[in-house]
Amino acid sequence: MSPATPLAVLALAATVGIAALMALTRLANRPGRAAAILTPMLFAVLVLFLWEVLTRGLAVPQVLLPAPSVIARAFWNASPELLQDVRQTVLFAAIPGFVCGSALGMVTGIAVDRSPFLQQGLLPLSSFASVIPIVGVAPIMILWFGFGWQSKAAVVLLITFFPAFVNMVAGLREASPIERDLMASYASTYWQTLWKLRLPAALPFLFTALKVNASLALIGAIVAEFFGAPVYGLGFRISAEIGHLALDRVWAAIAVAAAVGSGSYALLTAAERAATFWHPSQLPGSDRNS
Amino acid sequence: MSEAIAGIGVFRTARAGVPQWSRRILAPVVILCALLAIWSIAATLVNPSPAAAAAGIWPSNWWNPRPTLPSPPQIAVATWTGLFGYPVTSPRSLIYHAAVTLEAALAGFGLAAVLGTALATAIVHVRLLDRGLLPWVIVSQSIPVLATAPMVVVAMGYMGFSGLLPKAVISASLAFFPVTIGMCKGLRSPQTVQLDLLRTYNASGRQVFWALRWPSAIPYLLPALKIAMALAITGAIVGELPTGAQAGLGARLLIASYNGLMLLMWATLIVASLTAGLAVGALALLERALPRFRLPA
Amino acid sequence: MPDSPHAETLDIETTQPREQARAAVVSVENVAVSYPSREGVFHALSDVSLRVARREFISLIGPSGCGKTTLLRLIADLAQPSTGTIRVNGGTSRQARGDRSYGYVFQTPALQPWRTALANVMLPLEIIGLAANERRARATAALMAVGLGDAASRYPWQLSGGMQQRVSIARALSLRPELLLMDEPFGALDEITRDKLNLHLTDLWRDRDLTVIFVTHSIPEAVFLSTRIVAMSAKPGRISRVIDCGLPRRRTLDIRNTPEFLAISKQVRDALSDAYANE
């Protein structure tokens, strides 16, 4: 590899890059589901290839950007540790915090449903909460609950509460006046109407909240570890390996975090599709994908 | 339809004794006061302070110098002192630290707004980017981008950049995605019939963009910018954590964390929230100032 | 067809004198609805009285804002009058709603998209707590009655507008009410579909001894379906004229070409043009 001159590397990358882009453009212009899936995949492969060739060929220092293959090797070598990190950050901090925060937010949303005053009072406070950097409470939680996963779970709970609450309140408003009149014409009780009409109608909102919360939970758990953690956890791994300038390991930890994040997103999207198959955004013919 | 809705309106108007606008302000204020009251009671229960009691300060539990749960007045005093107790240039002034953070956040926000809009424009016009890149932009929302913050700082430090720029880059990398996605939606929001209308004029792509796509996208842009601003400030604060930075709200938070300074943590958090609130609030005002229109979906 | 041997003796019953007050299914007395608005007090309804006997088919017709939907909502206890009384089946409208003694069909089908047609029809039966097998049997029968027996497992979005509205009628029938309240149920449908459903509705009304109160904008629809037509006018909303419609109970679409039909249509049109004159 070493005798390759930077110029030759650049020329190779440019040639391959341009040729691949031209081929991909033709693929992208094809209709159909196969092309819609294949194009982003091949696009990613192209990016990885160029990343590899350029970092190696131009001898980019590891501190700046390690090559994908180097990251992959680091991942392989560090996998037992990374597994423990995932257990700490995801299983102990992110998931319990996510579940408790989302559930609490939704229950609160139902609890204030019958009081317009409480709604009017809590909604502005919640939208303010969505603006502020809540993750900053991490040091306070560490003082309260210690360095372990408990403090991280508390941070995640706090972060995920507000989106769940706001979306529950908005979702419960989703049923139309006519649909509510219909239930009223059956002399349906408050809880019957909630259960048979308003909660199902709110499901698309709840899934929006869950998807937002899934990524917030992961970010919250990782960033909270930057403030202090026992000797494992994804956030701890990232900040510790940075200290040793072991960028390949940092990248490996980030890749794991990304995989967990997009995995949970995919899982929730699948659940959403199963639960809200009836919603216009899920019906065939609509290609909204976010 | 109109009659049915009017019929519902009857009872809504009849029930609301207090005018809507004053309720809208009253309700949050009352709730906030209630929360502060609960908090104060909790603080009374949690923090016994023999020292303050001996000095005859009442209620003594509110003035524990090392509180588990600081009382609201205690936090208020700490915040006030942090903000106005020192000259603005002093490293003890929270205004100074907020300015440092805000500077980086605004730089990152600006970068994200420009790049995000540009990328969205490209995605809307280039099919390869639409099909090849947009899915990744959407997936990236579920990825903890903030986890890369320490790495960005180190990598940029290696290249000789430190201080504002790495933080701005972290901020931008967070704020970039909502802008891109919002703008893609916005630029695509014109209805087919409107695009067809311009086609009957044989309008060029550029004309369609400026006459239809761009104005249609504005109502989507501003909510996206508000999200971006909030993320940019979080990004700047987190960007200050791993650097050993001396200035900025994040650095302040870290110092407070290392030394167990509960009051400083709260004061810094409050200032961070106020900063974010003001920055996003400014955008909300801008949104309100712009003519309100939205094409029916 | 009016002179066909099928024309029943029952026809006379529909135009009986008002003395049958005690047997009235719905009685509305001196009802007014008003509420404050930006331009002062708005009178949605003013001094409205109406008695509906068993097996009548009443159409409420008039310009928008005349309060016909409001009147229907009052009878259904979905809204309350400012003054006046409303009795349904001899009791209050609240009791009638509590007894589920009427079926209400809205302007839009208001089907729940997460339920199949059958499950939508079962919804009210779930609310009243029927056993599952009983629910299924009754809902299936109701779907059959509107001719949608084989669409039971389809979702609302897989049905045409006319089919959706038929499901919503089946849903109202599943409670086996004697009183049917219908608020412009066919307003959004095309002419041909509307004709079909009108024919279907008049059969249901006759075969099941229903009492129907029907809000519409369409004069031919009102004349075709009704035993009595209540013309209303706006500002304030009130009843301007009640027109008896002596067509036989058994009706086919051809009836619309008979002189009787056209004469009644003219009466309704005249009544309405007075009402619209106020606009």
Q: How far is CA A173 from CA A110, A189, A195, A267, B25, in A?
A: 11, 17, 14, 27, 21
Predicted complex ipTM: 0.85
Q: How far is CA B272 from CA A84, A193, B145, B250, B279, in A?
A: 33, 42, 21, 9, 11
Whether residues B10 and C78 touch (CB distance < 8 A) is answered with no
Rounded average pLDDT over A211-228: 91
- Looking at every residue in chain B, the average pLDDT score rounds to 84
Rounded average pLDDT over C180-195: 91
Whether residues B141 and A215 touch (CB distance < 8 A) is answered with yes
* B9 contact residues in C (CB cutoff 8 A): 35
Q: What is the pLDDT of residues C73-96, one digit of tens each?
A: 999 999 999 999 999 998 999 999
Q: What is the pLDDT of residues A1-26, one digit of tens each?
A: 445 688 888 888 888 889 988 888 88
Interface test mutation site (partner A, options C69, C92, C104, max chain A beta carbons within 10 A): C104
Enclosing H/E stretch for B124: helix B94-125
| Tokens at A79, concatenated | 């996998």
> Cis link prior to B166 (omega < 30° from 0)?
no
Report d(CA B42, CA C219) in Å as an integer: 69
Label residues B22-49 b or e (16+ Cβ within 10 Å = b). Answer: ebeeebbeebeeeeeeeebeebeeebeb
With pLDDT > 70 as the criterion, what percentage of chain B qualifies? 86
Sheet of C228-233: strands edge to edge? C102-105, C179-183, C211-216, C57-61, C228-233, C238-244
Quote the pLDDT of residue B294: 52
Rounded to 5 degrees, what angle do the CA atoms B188, B192, B196 make?
120
Q: Model confidence at B145, in pLDDT bands (50, 70, 90)?
A: confident
Whether residues B14 and C78 touch (CB distance < 8 A) is answered with no
- Who's near C7: CB < 8 A, 6+ residues apart? C1, C248, C250
Sheet of C83-88: strands edge to edge? C40-52, C26-37, C83-88, C91-92
* Chain A residue nearest residue B274, CA to CA: A132
- Looking at every residue in chain A, the average pLDDT score rounds to 89
Up-side HSE of residue A109: CA atoms within 13 Å toward CB? 27
Which of the residue ranges B107-111, C43-47, C275-279 would you say has the lowest mean pLDDT?
C275-279
Q: Model confidence at B292, in pLDDT bands (50, 70, 90)?
A: low
Whether residues A247 and B24 touch (CB distance < 8 A) is answered with no
Residue of C78, C113, C123 lying closest to A181 (CB–CB): C78
The whole-angstrom distance between A184's CA and the closest CA on chain C is: 7
> What's the full length of chain B, in residues?
297
* Chain A residue nearest residue B159, CA to CA: A64
Using alpha carbons, select from C213, C186, C203 the residue that is nearest to residue C147: C203
Whether residues C79 and B6 touch (CB distance < 8 A) is answered with no
Q: How many CB atoms lie within 10 A of CB B2?
A: 9
Tell me which DSSP letter residue B291 carries. Answer: -
Whether residues A177 and B8 touch (CB distance < 8 A) is answered with yes
Which of the residue ranges A170-184, B179-193, C6-20 would you say has the lowest mean pLDDT?
C6-20
* C183 contact residues in B (CB cutoff 8 A): 4
Q: Which chains border A (3 or more CB–CB pairs < 8 Å)?
A: B, C
DSSP B39-104: HHHHHHHH---HHHHHTT-SSGGGG-SS-SS--HHHHHHHHHHHHHSS-TTSTT-HHHHHHHHHHH
Quote the pLDDT of residue B67: 83
* Single-letter residue type at B102: L
Q: How far is CA C222 from CA B29, B135, C28, in A?
A: 54, 55, 20
Report d(CA B223, CA C234) in Å as an integer: 43
Using alpha carbons, select from B141, B135, B145 the residue that is nearest to residue B224: B141
* B1 contact residues in C (CB cutoff 8 A): 107
Which of A14-28, A99-113, C248-262 has the highest mean predicted lDDT (pLDDT)? A99-113
Whether residues C102 and A183 touch (CB distance < 8 A) is answered with no
Rounded average pLDDT over C196-203: 92
* C67 contact residues in B (CB cutoff 8 A): 3
- Who's near B174: CB < 8 A, 6+ residues apart? B108, B112, B145, B146, B228, B231, B232, B234, B235
Report d(CA B213, CA B199) in Å as an integer: 13
3-state helix, strand, coil in chain B (%, to 5): 75, 0, 25
The whole-angstrom distance between C98's CA and the closest CA on chain A is: 5
Which of B79-93, B154-168, C115-129 has the highest mean predicted lDDT (pLDDT)? C115-129
> Which SS3 state, helix, strand or coil, does residue C36 take?
strand
Residue B295: pLDDT above 70?
no
Tracing tokens 């504002």 back to the chain, one arrives at B164
Q: What is the pLDDT of residues C212-247, one digit of tens each?
A: 999 999 999 999 999 999 999 988 889 999 999 888
Quote the pLDDT of residue B58: 64
Rounded average pLDDT over B70-78: 90
> Cis link prior to C236 (omega < 30° from 0)?
yes
The residue ranges of every structural domain in chain B are 94-293
- Looking at every residue in chain C, the average pLDDT score rounds to 87
Whether residues C78 and A184 touch (CB distance < 8 A) is answered with yes
Is any Cβ of chain B less than 8 angstroms from the Cβ of C67?
A: yes
Residue A206: pLDDT above 80?
yes
Is any Cβ of chain B less than 8 angstroms from the Cβ of A120?
A: yes
Whether residues C123 and A196 touch (CB distance < 8 A) is answered with yes
Q: Model confidence at B56, in pLDDT bands (50, 70, 90)?
A: low
- Who's near A173: CB < 8 A, 6+ residues apart? none
* Chain A residue nearest residue B264, CA to CA: A140
> Are the beta carbons of C166 and C186 closer than 8 angstroms?
no
Quote the pLDDT of residue C279: 56
Quote the pLDDT of residue A3: 53
Exposed/middle/buried for residue C207 (C-beta within 10 Å: 0-12, 13-18, 19+): exposed
Rounded average pLDDT over A138-150: 91
Enclosing H/E stretch for B31: helix B20-46
DSSP C220-260: HHHHHH-SEEEEEETTTTEEEEEEE----SS--GGGGGSHH
Whether residues C97 and A187 touch (CB distance < 8 A) is answered with yes
- Who's near B61: CB < 8 A, 6+ residues apart? B43, B44, B45, B46, B47, B48, B49, B52, B71
Quote the pLDDT of residue B85: 87
Report d(CA C218, CA C191) in Å as an integer: 11
The whole-angstrom distance between B10's CA and the closest CA on chain C is: 6
Quote the pLDDT of residue C32: 93
Tracing tokens 């502020």 back to the chain, one arrives at A132
> Are the beta carbons of A121 and B30 closer than 8 angstroms?
yes
> Which SS3 state, helix, strand or coil, does residue C2 take?
coil
> Are the beta carbons of A53 and A45 closer than 8 angstroms?
no
> Are the beta carbons of A63 and B155 closer than 8 angstroms?
yes
Quote the pLDDT of residue C181: 95
Whether residues B257 and A227 touch (CB distance < 8 A) is answered with yes
Tell me which DSSP letter residue A171 carries. Answer: H
> Which SS3 state, helix, strand or coil, does residue A51 take?
helix
> Are the beta carbons of B187 and B216 closer than 8 angstroms?
yes
DSSP A239-257: HHHHHTT-HHHHHHHHHHH
Whether residues A124 and B28 touch (CB distance < 8 A) is answered with yes
Pairing of strands C228-233, C57-61: parallel
Q: How far is CA C47 from CA A86, C81, C237, C275, in A?
A: 72, 11, 9, 16
Is any Cβ of chain B less than 8 angstroms from the Cβ of C95?
A: no
- Who's near C153: CB < 8 A, 6+ residues apart? C116, C117, C118
* C106 contact residues in A (CB cutoff 8 A): 178, 181-182
CATH superfamily of B94-293: MetI-like (1.10.3720.10)
Report d(CA A275, CA C102) in Å as an integer: 33
Q: Using N-to-C axis directions, what is the helix angle for A149-172 and A199-226, rounded to 10°?
A: 150
Rounded average pLDDT over A88-115: 95
Q: Model confidence at B20, in pLDDT bands (50, 70, 90)?
A: low
Residue B6: pLDDT above 70?
no
Which ranges constitute the DSSP H helices of chain A?
6-28, 33-57, 68-77, 79-86, 95-111, 116-129, 138-145, 149-172, 177-185, 190-193, 199-226, 234-243, 247-275
Tracing tokens 């159909």 back to the chain, one arrives at A32
Residue A242: pLDDT above 90?
no
Q: What is the pLDDT of residues C23-69, one digit of tens each?
A: 689 999 999 998 888 778 888 999 999 999 999 999 999 988 889 99
| Tokens at A125, concatenated | 């406070």
Q: Model confidence at C11, in pLDDT bands (50, 70, 90)?
A: very low
Quote the pLDDT of residue A30: 83
Report d(CA A240, CA B240) in Å as an integer: 16
Up-side HSE of residue A186: CA atoms within 13 Å toward CB? 27
Quote the pLDDT of residue A63: 80
Q: Tell whether the torsion through CA atoms of A122, B292, B17 and B7 is positive or negative.
A: negative
Quote the pLDDT of residue B244: 65
Residue B272: pLDDT above 90?
yes
- Who's near B201: CB < 8 A, 6+ residues apart? none
